[in-house]
Chains A and B, each alone.
Chain A
Amino acid sequence: MSANTAETSRKPTVPPRSEGADLELKGITKRFAEFVAVKDLDLTVPSGTFFALLGPSGCGKSTTLRMIAGLDAPSEGEILIGGKNVTSLPSHQREVNTVFQSYALFPHMTVLENVAFGLKRKKDKQAMEKAREGLKMVELDHLANRRPEQLSGGQQQRVALARALVNRPQVLLLDEPLGALDMKLRRQMQFELKAIQTEVGLTFIHVTHDQEEAMTMADVVAVMNEGRIEQMGAPRDLYELPKTAFVANFLGKSNLMRAHVVGQQEGLIEAQTAGCRVLIPVERAVQHEGDIVIGVRPEKLHLHRGAPQESTGYNELSGQVIDVSFTGTTTEYLIEVPGIGRIGTFSQNRGQQPAQMGDTVYLSWESAHSFGLAGDEVVDAGVDQT
């Protein structure tokens, strides 16, 4: 969005900064007959946060959103917006607006009438002017008199966004709003959405199954799986230190190895995996004894063609290259490590001679980059789930 251009800053179109409200879910459970979609969910989203609910389809994230919007009633628990209990309020009485995945634009109204719909219901005397401002914000004011069907997918998406935003809701809900767009448009809209959120300062709850989207846009990401929040935090914290195998695999990629703790020294856990000694900082491990799962992100691994020298503070493994794929900026390797399994890594293409299929290579990483998970984790949980 061109929020920083002279034209935008001059005109009084940008509405006064209205802070969103805190959103609080207390013990929310949603059952559909036998199926439990959301299990005892507790969540607090501070006002003005860009919050992402990330998870594979069927994890309960959309159901959670619909309960906040008032489109579904929770089976148990309370929903509070700005400290006020809204659990029993119907959707039209909640200061919440939604950008639907299907956009749900009214086909019998013009774009402008669509955007003015909510304002008119609230008997806003300046509904039309505000709707025009809203369309200006998403740079579609020139299409105000068109019908939604005459617009492209990306334009419809913006209309849906403007239609929700102009009402200045306490909480704005986005249900996979970029799902129907192609990759390029998606990236552009992600950027624009983030800019708009920063500009208006509303509380945004963004539901998505795209981990990259969640990480790029959100201040706080909650990873949901099977009706529960697995882990919540700033994108970087979640990525660098996943607490479950599901988070480790769903949010980016991870190499997970089963290991057994053999000792602890100087704040490091020492574990054995397939005859190799691996160190993990104590504060980066969920479990400190017995069988555990060790993880390391692919980009943290260094690939050596001969035995590495840098042994102190580093963990090492060696194996055979079983797959090499060239992706342009990087080359990806799959290395079979005896007794552990396949480890993925990649190297930037800086002109070095890439390792060949069948080569024996050495992998090393800083101990501080390892993380430890509970021993009962399913190692491939969340792999390739969307």
Chain B
Amino acid sequence: MSKMMMTKKGKIADLRSAEEIKAERRKGRTGVYLVVPGMLVLFLFFALPVIVLLSMSLYARPEGAEIGEFVPALEFGNYVTVLSAYWSELVRSFGFALIATVLALLIGYPMAYLVAVRLRQHGLLQGILLVLLIAPFFSSFILRTQAWKQILADEGWVAQTLKLIAVLPVDGHLTATPFAVVAGLTYNFLPFMVLPIYANLGRLDTRLLEASGDLYASPMTSFFKVTLPLSAPGVFAGTLLTFIPAAGDYVNAALLGNNRNTTMIGQVIDSRFFKVIDYPGAAALSFVLMLSILILVTLYIRRFGTKELM
């Protein structure tokens, strides 16, 4: 507590000694010092790259230049060129990401509910399931996606079984289809959906469910009227954490997709940068992707956002 006092005139008198004031200022400065490293890291690894990316996206290719040779300019036409060429990949990326997010929610919510609420009294089982949930992170993302390629392969048991029960035509494929890409996205980002919902449901006061049952709500009604609304912040965080990386992902589309109807925007950026060596085009696409995600997320927060996230 600082030693402040109201004087008769209603002004605040500072009754602290000079030393105390100095000590207070030192404390204030300590805060600033603590922020510096973080700010520096953010500047170096976030702000600076964004600025470089933005300026690169406006570079121009002079007449007769060699491959990979660009000059600084304000070539806004780059945006028009890439957007008109790749808008369908952009839309598809958001489409796939949306489907994967919805699927991850449908699969992830019951998982989170099981671990966080149903198994609350069973600490050991709860722990085991949580470890299993996080375990995939111990192996490489690309390796796991590669494994999905094997699982969904034509000679794999999934495709074979589906063909046996005639869900899949005999000459059908699972790999190299939009289905495989969405399945891969769903699988890879599922933990990002489950963990925030788990953290939220872990705090759910089950006495509220007893109260709702006591007030004539069936378990199903209790879920939709009490549990689900109360876990909205977790669902909200989970959907964002799934949707954002899924929209920019290119590993799943590259490994599980084909070159006709599964190309996602991440793949396009990748090939613009490393294969076509069109740095301004790739930079412009990256920027478009970033901006569209930002706009979509802002709209989403506006519509469904909770106080905690605003």
* Residues of A participating in the B interface, judged by any CB pair closer than 8 Å: 69-71, 90-93, 96-98, 100, 102, 104-108, 117-118, 121-122, 163-164, 167
Known: A100-B207, A102-B207, A121-B221. A108 touches B229 (CB 8 A): yes
CA distance A104 to B212 in the complex (A): 9
Whether B53 sits at the interface, judged by CB under 8 Å, is no
The count of residues in chain B whose C-beta lies closer than 8 Å to any C-beta of chain A is: 18
Closest 6 CB pairs of A and B: A118-B215, A104-B211, A121-B216, A91-B213, A104-B207, A98-B214
4 more A-B residue pairs beyond the given contacts A106-B212, A107-B208, with a C-beta to C-beta distance below 8 A = A92-B213, A100-B207, A100-B210, A167-B216
Q: Which residues of B contact A93 (CB under 8 A)?
A: 216
Q: Are A117 and B213 in contact (CB under 8 A)?
A: no
Q: Which residues of A contact B244 (CB under 8 A)?
A: none
Q: Which residues of A contact B211 (CB under 8 A)?
A: 98, 100, 104-106
Task: Identify which of residues 203-227 in chain B touch chain A, using a CB-to-CB cut-off of 8 Å.
Answer: 205, 207-208, 210-219, 221, 225-226
CA distance A227 to B226 in the complex (A): 34
Some 18 contacts from A to B, beta carbons below 8 A apart, are A69-B214, A91-B210, A91-B213, A92-B214, A92-B216, A100-B207, A100-B211, A104-B205, A104-B211, A105-B211, A106-B212, A106-B226, A108-B230, A117-B225, A118-B215, A118-B216, A163-B215, A167-B215
Q: Are B217 and A121 in contact (CB under 8 A)?
A: yes
CA distance A118 to B211 in the complex (A): 10
Q: Are A92 and B207 in contact (CB under 8 A)?
A: no
Q: Are B213 and A90 in contact (CB under 8 A)?
A: yes
* Residues of B participating in the A interface, judged by any CB pair closer than 8 Å: 205, 207-208, 210-219, 221, 225-226, 229-230
CA distance A122 to B214 in the complex (A): 12
CA distance A163 to B4 in the complex (A): 47
Q: Which residues of B contact A102 (CB under 8 A)?
A: 207
CA distance A91 to B212 in the complex (A): 9
CA distance A100 to B207 in the complex (A): 9
Question: What's the least CB distance linking A43 to chain B, in Å?
Answer: 20
* Nearest residue, chain A, Cβ from B221: A121
Q: Which residues of A contact B226 (CB under 8 A)?
A: 106, 108
Q: Which residues of A contact B212 (CB under 8 A)?
A: 106, 117
CA distance A90 to B225 in the complex (A): 18
- A-B pair count, CB < 8 Å, reads 59
Q: Which residues of A contact B210 (CB under 8 A)?
A: 71, 91, 100, 104
Q: Which residues of A contact B225 (CB under 8 A)?
A: 117
Q: Which residues of B contact A107 (CB under 8 A)?
A: 208, 230
CA distance A11 to B227 in the complex (A): 38
CA distance A96 to B213 in the complex (A): 11
Q: Are A97 and B215 in contact (CB under 8 A)?
A: yes
Q: Which residues of A contact B221 (CB under 8 A)?
A: 121
Contact with B218, one of A92, A96, A118 (Cβ below 8 angstroms):
A92
Q: Which residues of B contact A69 (CB under 8 A)?
A: 214
* Nearest residue, chain A, Cβ from B222: A92
CA distance A258 to B285 in the complex (A): 95
Known: A107-B230, A108-B230. A117 touches B215 (CB 8 A): yes
Q: Are A104 and B218 in contact (CB under 8 A)?
A: no
Q: Which residues of A contact B207 (CB under 8 A)?
A: 100, 102, 104
CA distance A93 to B207 in the complex (A): 18
CA distance A163 to B211 in the complex (A): 10
Which of B208, B214, B216 has most chain A Cβ within 10 Å?
Answer: B214
Contact with B215, one of A90, A108, A121 (Cβ below 8 angstroms):
A121
Q: Are A117 and B217 in contact (CB under 8 A)?
A: yes
Q: Are A71 and B213 in contact (CB under 8 A)?
A: yes
CA distance A71 to B226 in the complex (A): 17
* Nearest residue, chain A, Cβ from B214: A98
Question: What's the least CB distance linking B98 to chain A, in Å?
Answer: 26
Q: Are B208 and A104 in contact (CB under 8 A)?
A: yes
CA distance A108 to B211 in the complex (A): 14
Q: Which residues of A contact B217 (CB under 8 A)?
A: 92, 117, 121
CA distance A158 to B237 in the complex (A): 35
Question: What's the least CB distance linking B69 to chain A, in Å?
Answer: 59
Question: What's the least CB distance linking B70 to chain A, in Å?
Answer: 54
Question: What's the least CB distance linking B210 to chain A, in Å?
Answer: 5
Q: Which residues of B contact A96 (CB under 8 A)?
A: 214
Q: Which residues of B contact A108 (CB under 8 A)?
A: 226, 229-230
Q: Are A71 and B214 in contact (CB under 8 A)?
A: yes
* Nearest residue, chain B, Cβ from A90: B213
Question: What's the least CB distance linking A363 to chain B, in Å?
Answer: 50
CA distance A71 to B214 in the complex (A): 8
Question: What's the least CB distance linking A250 to chain B, in Å?
Answer: 28
Q: Are B208 and A97 in contact (CB under 8 A)?
A: no
Which of A70, A108, A163 has most chain B Cβ within 10 Å?
Answer: A108
Q: Which residues of B contact A71 (CB under 8 A)?
A: 210, 213-214
Q: Which residues of B contact A104 (CB under 8 A)?
A: 205, 207-208, 210-211
Question: What's the least CB distance linking B207 to chain A, in Å?
Answer: 5
CA distance A104 to B214 in the complex (A): 11
Question: What's the least CB distance linking B225 to chain A, in Å?
Answer: 8
* Nearest residue, chain A, Cβ from B230: A108
Q: Which residues of B contact A164 (CB under 8 A)?
A: 214-215
* Nearest residue, chain A, Cβ from B226: A106
* Nearest residue, chain A, Cβ from B209: A104
CA distance A147 to B21 in the complex (A): 42
CA distance A298 to B181 in the complex (A): 83
Question: What's the least CB distance linking A73 to chain B, in Å?
Answer: 13
Question: What's the least CB distance linking A236 to chain B, in Å?
Answer: 33
CA distance A31 to B225 in the complex (A): 32
Q: Which residues of A contact B216 (CB under 8 A)?
A: 92-93, 118, 121-122, 167
Q: Which residues of A contact B213 (CB under 8 A)?
A: 70-71, 90-92
CA distance A100 to B221 in the complex (A): 20
CA distance A98 to B214 in the complex (A): 7
Question: What's the least CB distance linking A319 to chain B, in Å?
Answer: 51
Question: What's the least CB distance linking A146 to chain B, in Å?
Answer: 16
Question: What's the least CB distance linking A49 to chain B, in Å?
Answer: 21
Q: Which residues of B contact A106 (CB under 8 A)?
A: 208, 211-212, 226
* Nearest residue, chain B, Cβ from A173: B214
CA distance A93 to B221 in the complex (A): 13
CA distance A98 to B205 in the complex (A): 17
* Nearest residue, chain A, Cβ from B215: A118
CA distance A105 to B219 in the complex (A): 17
Question: What's the least CB distance linking A274 to chain B, in Å?
Answer: 53
